[in-house]
Every structure is written in C-alpha cells, then in structure tokens.
C-alpha cells in the first residue's frame, strides 16, 4: 500500500446534544435547532454560567453491559457507543477482520474529569480508603480509545490524541496517516468529551471563556455575531470509520466521503489566545488543501471552528482570508457550534462528521443566532438557515488552547474520479 493510497469514510457514529445517533443529530443541524439549555447535571447556584449543551436521555446500559458501563467514565461511554454505531453504519464485521489491522484513535481534551471530580469528593468526605479502585482507569484520557478497542475487538494501534479542541481532528488526521502508510486497513477515529461538571465550568468561567447569556441559553452561542461573549460548553462523541481504498473495495461497500487532506500547525504564541497574525492557522488550511490536491477555487463549504468567543471568530476570519484569498468571500462557511455548543476535544470529530453528511445530502448547515454580524467578520457565514446546494469539497477547522491548528479536507468519493 503506497503513501498515496486513498482513505475513505465508510461509517459514522454520533452522540450529541442534538441526539443519540447520526440521524437525529443531522436533522437538528439541518433544522437549525439548538441543543443548548440550562444545566441539569448539577446545581448551578453561584455560577456565572448556568447553561450548556448536554447530552439528554443517554443511558449507557441501553447499549453496554451494566458491569462494563459502570467501569467507564461518561466520556468513554460516549466513545464506545459512538464506535459501535459507526461500525454498524459501515456494515463492517470486525470479527471477520484481522484485528491487528484495525486501529482505534480517540481524542479527548479533558478525559475522565467527571470521575476524578466525583472521587475527589469521596476522598474529602469519606477518606482515602473509600476511593474507588477504578478511579485511575476511568479518568485516564486514553480510556475512550481503550474502551473502543475492547467493545469492538480492534487490536491495532490504540491511543488518545490530546491537543485541546483540536484533539478529534488530530485523531482523524493520525488515522488518515496510518492508513496511508499501510499500518492499518481500518481505523476507528474521532473524539469524545464529557466536561459538564462543576470544576470545569468554574474553571472556564474564571478564564472568562464561557458565554454568560443566562437569560436565553438557546441564543447564547452566536458565532460571528457582534455581541458574542464566549463559547458554550458541550459534550458528546463522534467516531468515523476510516478505511483504505483497497479494503473497502474488497468488502464491496460504497464510501460516504473521502478524507483527502490534513494539515496541522502551532501558533507558538499564547496559552489561550490565537496568534493575532492568523498566519499559523492559515498555513494549516494551506497544508490541508495541498495534501488533498485541492485548489481554493474548488472548496464548496467550510465548517468553521467558530466558537463564539470574541478573539477566535475574528482571528479565524483573518486566517481564512489569508489562506483562501479572494475565494474566502465566495465559500459558504458555518459554525455548527451555534447549535451543538463546543464539544472541546470531540468538536473536530463531530464537525468532520457533519461535513460528511453535508456531502451526502448536499446541504450546507446554518450558523444560527447570527442576526447582527460583526463587521470584522465579513464572510458568508450561512446565517440562520441551511442551504441546499451541491457539496463536493469541504473543509473543517479546529483550533485549540495552546496554539493547535488542525484542518481536514473531506470530499465526495467520486469528486476526483
């Protein structure tokens, strides 16, 4: 298998604030429905932010053995269930595969923070001997990929990518590289996050990164809007089945999309603020397009990082202009975070899955709540309503604290034929 072997997406699995599967999530995206509401996971009295994009109605015992699920943090449960969905969607029977040719790479920015925070309370209130022996194997960031490996039987490379809010995109990029290098036939790649716990909300509030628009939570995530005031924390998982061209042809399946390009750079600038020049993020876009063999004139749709923070949206706009030139004003762009909130390390994977669905249905998702655009953000952000237009070539931007810039290019499988 050569380094230029094509890599395709053959299955999707999603647990999101808009639904517990691909169909319900995509229906919410197309309808422009917000998954953001007041927090139910804990008492928010005294918190500056009282809302988030929670996954509602998720019972892990509906999908996993009870004993098994109780030994997983919520983020690992999300990943395991999303991976099972993705395998079913791909129609792949991993028991019939060489398990050592199937990898699992699941990104997470925070990992098992729910279990860690709960067990810290046990330590404080009841003493060290009452802390669960499963604390460590439940809180580790790699436990999402480990659990995906265990529930699917994947025995190839299995690890966690940790690059803040670029984690899910980087996991997909690494899976793409593995298949191109011939190290795997199939990789289950994506991201998972379950950060809606008091310590995380308090921490992001102290950082002044979260929106405080408590009067109307569904309208709080407003990327590129003049009065945006921060991101909305979300939770969930997305896992994509990546498969080599040779392998899917042997199986006789039709792919959903092709993962054609991946580019990553670092700002080398600040813990949380993007580099004000926008050049590093622009270079990541250029690298992804170059790897994909795509000209800027061929891009049909761009799913922006679009967090709804004042600095990110402005700097991302600058980066897109630097990378695409005059074509930046032509390309329809949207931020699905306006509906799902920001899934942190899972965001890039969910947004890549949304690009796949955009290609499948020829629908460009909207940016809801964009009623008063920031004059500094003057591109076409697909305000309020989805568009039905031909979508062959898509891009997905993911930028993370620490200066991570990661970009994916996904295309219609037949686009280059």
Task: Choose one of 193, 222, 251: the last residue of a domain.
Answer: 251
Residues 80 and 16 grouped into a single domain: yes
The two tokens of residue 178 are 């593995």
118-152 confidence digits (pLDDT tens) = 999 999 999 999 999 999 999 999 999 999 999 99
Q: Which residues are catalytic?
A: 165, 305, 342
170-226 confidence digits (pLDDT tens) = 999 999 999 999 999 999 999 999 999 999 999 999 999 999 999 999 999 999 999
Q: How many CA atoms lie within 13 A of 160 on its CB side?
A: 26
Task: Choose one of 200, 219, 251: the last residue of a domain.
Answer: 251
Residues 125 and 45 grouped into a single domain: yes
* C-alpha to C-alpha distance for 19 and 233, rounded to whole angstroms: 16
- Cα dihedral 21, 406, 336, 72 sign: positive
Residues 325 and 209 grouped into a single domain: no
Residues 94 and 204 grouped into a single domain: yes
- Integer CA distances (angstroms), 20 to 16, 28, 318, 348, in order: 6, 11, 35, 18
Residues 91 and 185 grouped into a single domain: yes
Residues 167 and 304 grouped into a single domain: no
158-180 confidence digits (pLDDT tens) = 999 999 999 999 999 999 999 99
**pTM of the predicted protein model:** 0.96
- Establish if 416 belongs to a structural domain: no
Q: Which domain holds residue 292?
A: 259-411
SS (H, E, C) 182-234: CCCCEEEEEEEECCCCHHHHHHHHHCCCECCCCCCHHHCCCCCECCCCCECEE
- Establish if 299 belongs to a structural domain: yes
Q: How many CA atoms lie within 13 A of 413 on its CB side?
A: 18
Helix (H) or strand (E) holding 334: strand 333-334
Residues 239 and 280 grouped into a single domain: no
Q: Give the contacts of 246 (CB within 8 A, at least 6 positions apart).
A: 1, 5, 185
Pair 190, 346: CB distance under 8 Å: yes
Domains in the chain, number: 2
Tell me the pairing of strands 333-334 and 404-411. unpaired
Residues 195 and 265 grouped into a single domain: no
Pair 102, 188: CB distance under 8 Å: yes
Pair 214, 49: CB distance under 8 Å: yes
Residues 210 and 109 grouped into a single domain: yes
The CATH number of the domain holding residue 303 is 3.40.47.10
> In a structure prediction context, what are the per-residue pLDDT tens digits for the chain, which is 417 residues long?
345 789 999 999 999 999 999 999 999 999 999 999 999 999 999 999 999 999 999 999 999 999 999 999 999 999 999 999 999 999 999 989 999 999 999 999 999 999 999 999 999 999 999 999 999 999 999 999 999 999 999 999 999 999 999 999 999 999 999 999 999 999 999 999 999 999 999 999 999 999 999 999 999 999 999 999 999 999 999 999 999 999 999 999 999 999 999 999 998 778 767 778 888 999 999 999 999 999 999 999 999 999 999 999 999 999 999 999 999 999 999 999 999 999 999 999 999 999 999 999 999 999 999 999 999 999 999 999 999 999 999 999 999 987 899 999 999 998 866
Tell me the pairing of strands 51-52 and 102-107. unpaired
Which of left, alpha, beta for 287 (phi over 0: left; psi -120 to 50: alpha)?
Answer: alpha
Task: Choose one of 212, 228, 251: the last residue of a domain.
Answer: 251
Burial class (CB in 10 A: 0-12, 13-18, 19+), 153: middle
């Amino acid at each position: 298998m050569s380094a230029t072997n094509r890599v395709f997406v053959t299955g999707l699995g999603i647990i999101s604030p808009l639904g517990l599967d691909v169909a319900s999530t995509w229906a919410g995206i197309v309808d422009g429905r917000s998954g953001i509401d007041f927090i139910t996971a804990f008492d928010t009295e005294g918190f500056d932010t009282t809302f988030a994009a929670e996954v509602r109605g998720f019972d892990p015992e509906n999908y996993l053995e009870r004993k098994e699920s109780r030994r997983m943090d919520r983020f690992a449960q999300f990943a395991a269930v999303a991976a099972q969905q993705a395998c079913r969607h791909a129609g792949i029977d991993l028991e019939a595969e060489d398990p050592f040719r199937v990898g699992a790479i699941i990104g997470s920015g925070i990992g098992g923070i729910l279990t860690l925070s709960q067990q810290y309370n046990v330590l404080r209130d009841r003493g060290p001997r009452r802390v669960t022996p499963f604390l460590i194997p439940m809180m580790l960031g790699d436990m999402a990929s480990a659990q995906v490996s265990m529930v699917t039987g994947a025995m190839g490379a299995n690890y966690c990518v940790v690059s803040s809010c670029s984690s899910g995109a980087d996991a997909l990029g690494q899976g793409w590289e593995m298949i191109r290098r011939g190290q795997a036939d199939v990789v289950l790649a994506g991201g998972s996050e379950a950060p809606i716990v008091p310590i995380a909300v308090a921490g992001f509030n102290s950082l002044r990164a979260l929106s405080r628009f408590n009067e109307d939570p569904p309208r709080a995530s407003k990327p590129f809007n003049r009065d945006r005031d921060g991101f909305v924390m979300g939770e969930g998982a997305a896992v994509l089945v990546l498969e080599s061209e040779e392998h899917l042809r042997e199986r006789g399946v039709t792919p959903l999309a092709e993962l054609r390009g991946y580019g990553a750079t670092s700002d080398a600038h600040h813990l949380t603020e993007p580099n004000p020049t926008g050049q590093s993020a622009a270079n990541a876009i250029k690298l992804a397009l170059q790897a994909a063999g795509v000209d800027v004139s061929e891009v049909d749709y761009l799913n922006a990082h679009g967090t709804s923070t004042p600095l990110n949206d402005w700097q991302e706009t600058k980066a897109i202009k630097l990378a695409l030139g005059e074509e930046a004003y032509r390309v329809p762009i949207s931020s699905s975070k306006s509906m799902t909130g920001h899934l942190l390390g899972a965001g890039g994977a969910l947004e890549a899955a949304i690009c796949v669905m955009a290609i499948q249905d020829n629908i460009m998702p909207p940016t809801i709540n964009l009623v008063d655009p920031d004059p500094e953000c003057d591109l076409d952000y697909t305000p309020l309503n989805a568009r039905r237009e031909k979508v062959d070539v898509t891009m997905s931007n993911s930028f993370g604290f620490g200066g991570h810039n990661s970009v994916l290019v996904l295309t219609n499988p037949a686009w280059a034929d």
